[in-house]
A and B are shown apart, each in its own frame.
Chain A
Amino acid sequence: MEPVERIVGVDRELSRRPGYRSSWRVGPFPHTRYPPVRQEGEPAAPLHGRPGKRMPPVFGTACPPRGLSGAIRKAAYRYPDHELPHWMLLLFADRVEAMGPRLRRLAPLALPAGAALGFLAMRRRGDRSEGERRQIRRRAAILEPAPVY
């Protein structure tokens, strides 16, 4: 690669800067067909709720909304994107949807842990029963009348 000293100022001329306004293309790109024909099917991201917003002819179909998180997303898209509830509801839907994978990841740990806890609880119950039985025997011994000779 060229050392820094040899590249300084190579693009100093404004005409060499692609983002300089006068070098911006004015006119359609090659192979453009305008207006594009309308894509069939349903968009995965619905039209947001700004009145007058038109459905663009091309859209993504990656992950359609589904389940509880999908219902929250649909509610979010009723709001336009310049209103806070739009974004807050979307973030909330993300958290709700993420519970699924989180629970799935926890399942291998949760099942053995649940079984172990259940076993301990049953043992404790068993111990308590034994203790209660001892206590009853003790009470019975106390209440038993003393033999009279």
Chain B
Amino acid sequence: MKALTYDGPYHVKLREKPAPRIEHPQDAILKVTAAAICGSDLHLLHGLVPDTRVGFTFGHEMVGIIEEVGPQVTGLKPGDRVMLPFQIFCGGCYYCVRGQTASCENTNPASDMACGVYGYSHTVGGYDGGQAEYVRVPFADVDAEPIPDDLDDLDALPITDAMSTGYQAAEMCDLQGGETVVVFGAGPVGLFAMRAAWLLGAGRVIAVDHVPYRLDFARRWAGVETIDFDEVDPITAIKAETEDRGAHCTIDAVGLEAAGAPLRRLAGVYGKLIGGSARALDWCFHATRKGGTVSVVGVYGPPFTLVDFGTAMNKQLTIRTGQASVKRYMPRMIEHIRSGRIDPRPLFTHRLPLEKGPEAYHTFAQKKDGCIKVALFPHGVQPTTTFH
């Protein structure tokens, strides 16, 4: 089968790989009909996530059709159309029974920090990802969520990660109504976080980025105010807009490859001497009012990150963070899409066959051609069929 695989830093390659097989009685094989490139895939591409091996298949946002099921799979059958949370979880361990599926303790031998994740290095279990024609799905009938008939693949695809993660980012701000929320990063997760902040009752939402077309998209799609940090100092601008105090809550939807700090990018992103460039997180600490909340969903890889933690401590900030336990968000996300409160399809500015994956990665990474998010179709590009 064809798969989009890692070929050393800054390179992905379309390879022929053996098709996956049932390795555990609760496995299924999914025929992938659509897979997205996530912003966090770029951290893998750029060699920032430890134990990313040459030949490893990327992709943790995917939807498809069940092709084959193992002998202990009772809740699914071949032909079922499903979406997969990006985490792999057992459904019955200490964490799973408490809804914390992102912390499942039965799927990752390589580390205690997270559960197994599709296509995200061997640090999270070594499971091949979904930017391929087929993928192995452990605990298939526990993890997979059927896609309702009135949702097409591009509606369901972002629920598997970006939309649920963005929603969780806003939810972790514990909004009561009327607060000012600043979102750093106007990529897909940031955009969903902005829309979710409105749903949760924000009084004002401000996006910070430096890519003009993304800021423009945020204004139109998410209805937010914007700050271009190439034009103004974002902290000064935010404080000027908030009676010199700062926002009630800030969201880091950027992670470890933040722009705006050339030396840190040199040392962290290119030199890999420190864990990337955490400029957005520093800005969150400074842009939040004392006693406020910083919500972090941008990805930070081990081993260590240089951040201004003294500011966070002195300002009595609450820091909330974590991978979204996607499974528990899925029903609410489906409801929001059906009701037209969130329409994820305009974010998919690039819809391409899998073979175009290597070019798509570079277009997405370099923010060229107005790219917001890429959907790859391993079995042929589908026209969208559902209209809201």
Contact = CB atoms under 8 A, between A and B. Distances in A.
Interface stretch (B107-115, B241-249, B259-267, B309-317): B107-115
A90 B23 contact: no
A33 B200 contact: no
Contacts of A28: 91-92, 96-97
A36 B223 contact: no
Contacts of A40: 23
A45 B51 contact: yes
B148 interface: no
A47 B109 contact: yes
A62 B328 contact: no
B202 to A, nearest CB: 7
A78 to B, nearest CB: 13
Interface stretch (A52-60, A128-136, A141-149): A52-60
B355 interface: no
A1 B343 contact: yes
A32 B175 CA distance: 34
A87 B328 contact: no
Interface residues of B, number: 86
B130 interface: no
Contacts of A100: 8, 54
Interface string A92-103: 011101101110
B97 A94 contact: no
Nearest to B76: A31
A11 B8 contact: no
A94 B13 CA distance: 17
Which one of A17, A36, A61, A100 has the greatest number of beta carbons of chain B within 10 Å?
A36
Contact of A31 (B11, B50, B74, B172): B74
Given A24-B99, A43-B109, A58-B106, A32 B202 contact: no
B53 A62 contact: yes
B165 to A, nearest CB: 11
Given A11-B200, A29-B91, A48-B109, A58 B126 contact: no
B74 A27 contact: no
Contacts of B122: 44-45, 60, 62-63
Contacts of B302: 81, 87
Contacts of B141: 30-31
A4 to B, nearest CB: 4
Contact of A63 (B25, B53, B325): B53
A44 B108 CA distance: 11
A43 B107 CA distance: 11
B293 interface: no
A37 B24 contact: yes
Contact of B53 (A32, A58, A91, A97): A97
A19 interface: yes
A60 to B, nearest CB: 3
B8 A102 contact: yes
Interface of A: 1-4, 7-12, 16-20, 23-37, 39-41, 43-48, 50, 53, 55-63, 65, 69, 73, 76-77, 81-82, 84, 86-88, 90-91, 93-95, 97-98, 100-102, 105
23 contacts: A4-B223, A8-B198, A11-B332, A12-B201, A18-B167, A18-B329, A24-B98, A26-B97, A26-B98, A28-B96, A29-B96, A34-B93, A45-B110, A48-B111, A56-B107, A58-B90, A58-B107, A61-B23, A81-B302, A88-B303, A91-B303, A94-B50, A101-B54
